[in-house]
Amino acid sequence: MPIHDRIKELRRVPASSLRGNPRNWRAHPREQQRALRGLLREVGYAGALLARELPDGGLELIDGHLRASTTPNQLVPVLVLDVTEAEAATLLATHDPLAAMAEADLPKLEDLLKEISSGEKAVNDLLADLAKQAGIHDPDEAAINVDAKAEAVALPRVRQVLADCRDEAEQKQVHDWLKERGIRCRVLTLS
């Protein structure tokens, strides 16, 4: 089956000239807006927006609404696609969810996060949230998530106490109680 290349061209256009897609279903919370502004300040544009050309020559966004609205006075890179309105709707509905289906390779993600340092608070908050969602924490607060299929957990050769807690709230309570008493401890979650 041949795969069609639907990219007509790359254009640089004022972001304010792009028309938002009236069917755009993505809302952008403040945290995302702050993180994007931080990334744009620190790195700049590193990816093109997606749009389709309308019969009047205007460009209607498929992907990149937040970037366009964040930098309205900037010339932005836009991949102009040769797609129908129905195909644009399919891309609009599936572009971000398809990317979100990717799974994390935790060792690679952890190594990558160790290499990154940002001068932007919102970017650091985004990276910290990513690490937290992936189960990657500061070594003193490490939460080790063990898949039920894992054969064994390699623990350091130290004296340890394992406490079975009813739920996450009790686990946090026990952890905090031990930390307050100067006992080095970490959270261990076995699935």
pLDDT in tens, 27-36: 999 999 999 9
- Which tens digits make up the pLDDT trace of 101-115? 999 999 999 999 999
Domain check: are 73 and 58 in the same one? yes
Domain check: are 168 and 108 in the same one? no
- Which tens digits make up the pLDDT trace of 154-176? 444 556 777 888 888 888 888 78
Domain assignment present for residue 2? The answer is no
Q: Which has the higher per-residue pLDDT, 87 or 134?
A: 87
Domain check: are 56 and 35 in the same one? yes
Domain assignment present for residue 176? The answer is yes
Cα-flanking dihedrals φ and ψ of residue 52, to 5°?
-120, 150
Q: How many residues does the chain have?
A: 191
Domain check: are 74 and 148 in the same one? no
CA dist 93 and 75 (Å) reads: 26
Number of domains making up the chain: 3
Domain assignment present for residue 145? The answer is yes
CA dist 102 and 123 (Å) reads: 21
Domain check: are 125 and 163 in the same one? no
3-state secondary structure of 91: helix
Domain check: are 52 and 115 in the same one? no
CATH of the domain at 70: 3.90.1530.10
Domain check: are 143 and 128 in the same one? no
| Nearest CA among 137, 140, 187, 138 for reference residue 167 | 187
Segment 129-133 mean pLDDT: 90
Helix axes 106-115, 121-134, angle to 10 degrees: 160
Mean pLDDT of the chain: 86
Domain check: are 40 and 20 in the same one? yes
Domain assignment present for residue 89? The answer is yes
Domain check: are 85 and 18 in the same one? yes
Angle (CA) 138-123-113 rounded to 5° is 40
Domain check: are 79 and 89 in the same one? yes
Q: Is the pTM of this model over 0.75?
A: no
Domain check: are 109 and 58 in the same one? no
Segment 81-85 mean pLDDT: 97
pLDDT at 191: 53
pLDDT at 137: 66
Give the residue numbers spanning the domain of 170.
138-191
Domain check: are 46 and 110 in the same one? no
CA dist 118 and 96 (Å) reads: 25
- Which tens digits make up the pLDDT trace of 135-149? 886 543 443 443 433
- Which tens digits make up the pLDDT trace of 7-34? 999 999 999 999 999 999 999 999 999 9
Domain assignment present for residue 39? The answer is yes
